[in-house]
Amino acid sequence: MNLKIDRSPGLSSNDVLVTRALYYRYSSWLLGYLMAVVKDYELAEQYLLEVFKEVPNCLHEFTGSENSAWLRLQVLAKSKLKGYTNTLRTAGTKTNVASDERLKFDSYVSNMTTEQQIVFCGVYYYQKSTVLLAQELNKADDEVKKILKEAFLKIKNG
C-alpha cells in the first residue's frame, strides 16, 4: 500500500504529520472495517487509500469537533463506500438471489434472509432511509420497516 501525502500541494508539514498520525493509529482498524463490508482485501486497501487521501482536505473536522477521529474516519469510509454499493446495484444485484449467493457478512447478518440483509445493510451501513429502500424494492414503507424490525429481532435473539 502506497500512501503519498508528502508531495500533496498546499499541505503544511503539520498537516502531513497529523495525517500520518491518524493513518498509523487507525488504518488497521479501518482496513478491518472495510474488509467486513467489501470482502476483498485489495479493494479494501484501495478504499483505505481513498479515505486517507481525503483526510488532509478535512483536517479541520478532526481537530475542531468533539467527535472522535475514529468516528470521523468511519463517516469518510461510508461516503466512499456509497459508490461501491451503487456499482453493485447497477451491476444487477437482485433481491431474490439463491441462498448460496447471499451476501456473506458476520454471523448475525448471515442468519438473515436476503431481503432482511438488503434492508438492514441499506439502513445500517449505507444510511438509506426506509422510504428510499421501499422505492428500490418496490414495497410499501411499512413493509420495509417490518422487515427491518425482523432483522433486528434476529440480531437480538442470535
Q: What domains can be seen in the chain, in order of their start residue? A: 13-80 (1.10.1740), 99-157 (1.10.10.10)
pLDDT at 102 over 70: no
What's the pLDDT at 52?
87
Mean pLDDT of 53-58: 84
Mean pLDDT of 25-40: 86
How is 31-85 classified by DSSP, letter by letter?
Answer: HHHHHHHH--HHHHHHHHHHHHHHGGGGHHHHHSSSS-HHHHHHHHHHHHHHHHH
Q: pLDDT band for position 108 (50/70/90)? A: confident
What's the pLDDT at 157?
84
- Give percent above pLDDT 70 in the chain: 75
- Highest mean pLDDT, choosing among 32-36, 81-85, 86-90: 32-36
